[in-house]
Structure 1
Amino acid sequence: MSNFLVIVLIGFGATAVMDLWSIVRKSLLGIPLPNYGMVGRWITHMTHGQFRHNAIAKSRKVTGEHFIGWTAHYIIGAIFAALLITIWGESWLHNPTITPALLVGIATVLAPFLIMQPGMGAGIAASKTQHPASARLQSLITHTIFGLGLYVSGWVVRLFYSI
């Protein structure tokens, strides 16, 4: 199996683990599920030159924004898996270890803090939200779960496919 396909499977698996966490978090803590339609809206507006919004939810709706957002969500997960392999090397695919996966997962919280949240009107690290500390903590936990998902997915892919 090609490394590209392995990396995509690991990234998609880790993203699915993160999504399962969001479902568990909603049932346990009542925290709403992420709305990836807003990500799709943001990305689509970028194609028209608008990279920043005061409040993405108030921006013009876009046809297919949910599909675009969910697709981007999983592609970004694969890109972050590729980052893991770029930094720790192909040897990680043969023997996945938890520390690199968690470090990459935690580091990925910088993407929403510094790019997505400011671009969508929430400010740097959710500073313009009603409860910034809570939003930051939830983002950190979610991205840590993504890192755990990288590790688990690495092992699952390794067990089912000869790498």
Structure 2
Amino acid sequence: MGLLGAGVLIGIGGTVAMDIWALILNKAFGQPLPNWGNVGRWTGHLPRGVVFHDDIGVVEPVVAETAIGWALHYGVGILYGVIFVMFMGMGWVSAPTFLPVWIFGIITIAAGWFLLHPGMGLGWALSKTDDPWRGRMMGLVAHTVFALGMYVTALLI
């Protein structure tokens, strides 16, 4: 298996781990599941030249927005896996360690905080939400789970 294949698998593994974590939080604590439809709606408006919305919930829906959101979620996870493996090389894939992938996983939250969240009207790093620090901490934990999923997948391959 080459770098690209390993990166794809590692990115999928991390994304699946993040989704399982969301399900656990939902079932155990009633935490709402991520709304991938809103992410798809935001993505669907990008080709129209609109990046930032005041409230994505009131923006005109796009066809198949939930499927688009899920595809973006997994596409970004795969992209992150490929970028990480290309940066670290097959040496890391052959003998993975957690610290580098954890640092990378935490860095990846920047895309949500500084592009996706403000793009959907939630403010920079969730600053327009009722409890931004709770959301930020939950995001950091989710991205730690993403990194853990990438690490475990690397151990398996």
TM norm. shorter chain > 0.5: yes
Residues of 1 paired with 2:118 and 2:5: CA distance?
32
Per the alignment, residue 71 of structure 1 pairs with 71
Contact 1:96 1:151 (C-alpha < 8 Å) held by counterparts = yes
Amino acid across the alignment from 1:104:
F
Residues of 1 paired with 2:79 and 2:29: CA distance?
29
Contact 1:84 1:100 (C-alpha < 8 Å) held by counterparts = no
Deviation at residue 155 of structure 1 after TM alignment: 1.2
Deviation at residue 87 of structure 1 after TM alignment: 2.8
Amino acid across the alignment from 2:49:
G
Per the alignment, residue 161 of structure 1 pairs with none
Residues of 1 paired with 2:50 and 2:146: CA distance?
29
- Do residues 3 (structure 1) and 29 (structure 2) align? no
SS at 1:47 equivalent: helix
Aligned identity (percent) is 38
Deviations 1:45-96 (A, max 9, x none): 0011111110111111111111111011011001111222233222111111
Contact 2:3 2:89 (C-alpha < 8 Å) held by counterparts = no
Per the alignment, residue 21 of structure 2 pairs with 21
Residues of 2 paired with 1:101 and 1:42: CA distance?
28
Per the alignment, residue 101 of structure 1 pairs with 101
Contact 1:52 1:119 (C-alpha < 8 Å) held by counterparts = yes
Residues of 2 paired with 1:90 and 1:2: CA distance?
8
Contact 2:3 2:85 (C-alpha < 8 Å) held by counterparts = no
Residues of 2 paired with 1:119 and 1:142: CA distance?
20
Per the alignment, residue 62 of structure 2 pairs with 62
Amino acid across the alignment from 2:24:
V
TM-score under structure 2 length normalisation = 0.96
Per the alignment, residue 114 of structure 2 pairs with 114
After TM superposition, list the pairs within 5 Å mapping 1:81-160 onto structure 2: 81-156=81-156, 158=157
RMSD: 1.1
Task: Extract unaligned runs of 5+ from structure 2.
Answer: none
Contact 2:101 2:147 (C-alpha < 8 Å) held by counterparts = yes
Residues of 1 paired with 2:111 and 2:35: CA distance?
16
